[in-house]
Amino acid sequence: MQKSVSLSPALPPKPKSRSFSFKGFLPFLIPVLVVVIWQLSSSLGWLSTNILPSPWAVLKDGVKLTQTGELPKNMSISLYRATLGLVIGGGLGFILGFLNGMSNTARLLFDSSIQMVRNVPHLALIPLIILWLGINESAKISLVAIGTMFPVYINTFNGIRNVDPDLIEMGKSYNLSKRELFQKIIFPAALPQVLVGVRYALGVMWTTLIVAETISANSGIGYMSTNAEDFVDMETVILCIVIYAILGKISDLVAKSFETLFLDWQTLGRSNN
Amino acid sequence: MTTKPEITIDHIGKDYGQITALGDVSFNIEPGEFLALVGMSGGGKSTLLRMIAGLETPTRGQVLFNHQTREDSAVVIRVMFQEDRLLPWMTVLDNLSFKSHDAQQQAEAKKLLHLVDLDEYAQQFPNQLSGGQKQRVALARALMSHPQVLLLDEPLGALDALTRRKMQDLILRICEQQQLTTILVTHDVNEAARMADRIVVMKHETNYAEFNGPADRHDAGQVGLVAEDVLDAILHDKVPES
């Protein structure tokens, strides 16, 4: 593609000024509207509290459970399980993806077996995990680790395999060692794909934990929800669902902030072209 | 190792399976010479350049730098490719010093950015630059660590005529200043005639013919005559009598 340019120095592009606008509020518009309509429907008696308690009742329940210490205790145990499971599973996925991406021998040896295991739904392993490990912490953490390992593995593996060969050749023309080639070219080039895997794994992490805590736990948000169901405590059931939604959103924001931190070069403008 | 190595292409050849990309090529490149390799696509120009760079292993023959192999000599060879091949996650300055970010490398990088007139862009990322600016950064990067041999693999092929002309002048100025031994692969016979001290026509998988560059490269008439002779050799097999 031909581009018309001048060799004379031109001023670098000016940074864009940011201002708050209506666009900034748009992502929150629908959630806010849903809560307002929900509250109005409950207050006007259109919505039976037996079907769906009002947001205000759910909020009051949340405050009450926070004051008793039940909510913070269960939230912290769920966060602990989720984080540890992700670190173990994501770490293993990254190491395997790195090994198989960098070495043809490792790829031939491991990839086919990993792909076979990957196709087994990890939630189908719950009965087996309970039989092996009971309903203690290691069972739930293992399930989260298994669930989060594969998205990180597959994205790390593909990220490394799909690095632009021209960049690798450029590195070789500068006599980079294999280690330098990985550090300076392969890893940074694969990073966007690795982060896609991490973001996907965060979603899997919560799904797995909800199921694991609902089926076999005596603590955690999932346990709180199941327990509330037994006592027909609709406020707490809804509260747990809302908490999962908030935790999921926070996880997504964390993943996005990693992308902003490490991949800012992708979004910087082409304003000079 | 002297600062200006003589390069000897010694009966070099390259096969890809049953296909011969390069038959038997032998010639010398004088220290500080600017040599152009021209010819039709598939003539083996880029293959030869890649073997000189050490990016391909010859099937037969060898490339020598002052009578030593590339591994034995301390020659610093740099390649500038048709694509800029800049690392998109690094700033322009870091792209130049990507091997090592120490203070000495950073200082050298700043000097070279000044040389290619891009001082203001040091902290920009490649996707904020135009095609011509990216190739100037690639040229500056190729000049890091004081190379003695500069290999240019059609680096100006994707640029518009005006930018291309200005880049030719920039490369010529730098190569003369730094007395680099330079090999340029190009499809453009006018570019070859204008820039090179000597032009080698690659045809029939070998170095088919050679031409001297014009006595005065600023004389468009002389450049045109040399370009015509080169074109005749490529298209009509007309080789000048030695």
Measured between beta carbons, the chain B residues lying within 8 angstroms of A272 are 124, 128-130, 133
How confident is the model over B8-31, as pLDDT tens digits? Answer: 999 999 999 888 888 889 999 999
Mean predicted confidence (pLDDT) in A173-197: 93
- Burial level of B66, CB count in 10 A (0-12/13-18/19+)? middle
Q: How far apart are CA A149 and CA A100, in angstroms?
A: 14
Tell me, what's the pLDDT at B3? 57
pLDDT at A242 over 70: yes
pLDDT class for B234, splitting at 50, 70, 90?
confident
Instruction: Return the SS3 of B124.
Output: coil
Residue type, A83: T
| Nearest-Cα residue of chain B relative to residue A189 | B89
pLDDT class for B2, splitting at 50, 70, 90?
very low
pLDDT at A262 over 90: no
Q: For residue A259, what are the contacts with CB-CB under 8 A and spacing of at least 6?
A: A192, A195, A199
| CB count in 10 Å sphere of residue A202 | 21
pLDDT at A43 over 50: yes
Place of tokens 């990073």: A191
Measured between beta carbons, the chain B residues lying within 8 angstroms of A5 are 130-133, 160, 163
B241 has a chain A CB within 8 A of its CB: no
Q: Provide the shortest C-alpha distance from residue A86 to chain B (in Å).
A: 27
Alpha-carbon dihedral angle through residues A178, A179, A180, A184, given to the nearest 10 degrees: 110
Place of tokens 């982060």: A195
Q: Answer whether B185's CB lies under 8 Å from B3's CB.
A: no
Mutation target among A8, A167, A174 for the B interface, most CBs of B within 10 A: A174
Q: Do A3 and B160 touch (CB under 8 A)?
A: yes
Q: For residue A11, what are the contacts with CB-CB under 8 A and spacing of at least 6?
A: B120
Q: How far apart are CA A129 and CA A134, in angstroms?
A: 7
Q: Do B130 and A265 touch (CB under 8 A)?
A: no
Tell me, what's the pLDDT at A20? 59
Q: Answer whether A100's CB lies under 8 Å from A118's CB.
A: no
Q: Provide the shortest C-alpha distance from residue B236 to chain A (in Å).
A: 30
Q: Give the CATH superfamily of A53-263.
A: MetI-like (1.10.3720.10)
Q: How far apart are CA B139 and CA B78, in angstroms?
A: 10
Tell me, what's the pLDDT at A270? 47
Mean predicted confidence (pLDDT) in A88-95: 96
Nearest to A9 among B55, B120, B160 (CB): B120
pLDDT class for A269, splitting at 50, 70, 90?
low
Tell me, what's the pLDDT at A4? 40
Flag whether the pTM goes above 0.90. no
Average pLDDT, chain B: 89
Q: Provide the shortest C-alpha distance from residue B104 to chain A (in Å).
A: 18
Question: Domain residue spans in chain A?
Answer: 53-263
